Structure 1
């Protein structure tokens, strides 16, 4: 389904008010679809790649997270002593032989994360006493508050839940940045060919949400050898076009004319909006 959406072959569906909506827009608005697109593929990554990502995302060095067993999507747990909501459904639970990780996912354009939901998901899992002999971690991705608030929330979770070994929350862009770093081979582990194909699929899904999926940085530009440029540079002189010669230039001898209007035309056709940049931080 993801490939059909990416290539514009998924068609459209009728919305609640009779309007026609593309599957691409439906996909972008549903957190469950993003959860499945990214973490449904996580299950097929090699153990070294899974371990590297989980340790980076949780900010820990132990456990190893190299013994993945299975992922449970949208499991339902009962929460005792809660009048508002008797059933709690985290987005996913990652089961490793040595640990368990609860996931709460919000797409870049979705609703915000909030600590009450985190508390319910952790409490309901602990009450279920499933895999209670293993360390439990909680990871929230997307639509997080500022870092100071995240640290305060994580401290509260730890104080209120004795069975919780650790927690963290990340915006989507840092998550995608780690996947990009894997693809470029700049992290500790080396992805194999299957990993690279899976990573490519995850990055394709991320593009649907206007996340930055090219590993460009200011340092890349600074490190690139470029000729010195000054205000007197000949190429910056917007001189009138020269008259076309009656004799056509010989092949390979004509020099292209570079003018400011060419640059303006290029930037007009390759726009970058503030909304795109803001999305990278969500």
Structure 2
């Protein structure tokens, strides 16, 4: 009886061990069975434009012999998949996409894509051992529509080096609450503002509150380096400074704006007050 129980235990143990090894196959390092590509997405830094440029890292596992990527409008990809199916789309990426040089076996390659306007899906296909697999990420490039040209006046010319600059106020085509002053702090250095669902009134009429997130400029100050700006709420870490304590920024119906803003460097504040935008 003991011998029978012992033999039964060995048989059960062998079955469990075999099953466990089968489940782990393809997940343990060095024991992958299918080609796999993973896409990591990163925000770019200047001189690239984070509104429309993105950096991707394609990471492949050991069975991957080669890989391809294709960036196209999400609507176009969806229409194509409806027409040719998921497997057909993998073949489409291979035949119409870009081969990722440097991908072979366990490896990774960085690629930067620029000038993407609207929603794009970036799809990558890994190939190896007669098998294919795909992965994708979405990047939405911002596009802008002009609302008003005019003059932006800086309250701190001792920091900016200039008293005013022509600029264009634009609205994002995919977000009606997001505006920007194009190139107001130098070429490629825009200032974005986020309109709130909050109105105010003064002697000049009704205006809509807006916020100014931390924004890097092209200006430098003394030996302290790059100058940045933000509204007082971001500086104090408390929205009430903007919406309740009188440090608000606002946009009127004719797009003229008063901009209550702080200029600062890493060492500290350079002052705060009202910048102005007056449409032509």
Pairwise same-fold verdict (TM > 0.5): no
Name which one, 1 or 2, has greater alpha-carbon Rg: 2
- RCO greater where, 1 or 2, for CA within 8 Å and sep 6 or more? 1
Q: TM-score range by the shorter chain?
A: under 0.3
TM-score by length of 1: 0.20
TM-score normalised by structure 2 residue count: 0.20
In terms of fraction of residues, the more strand-rich structure is: 2
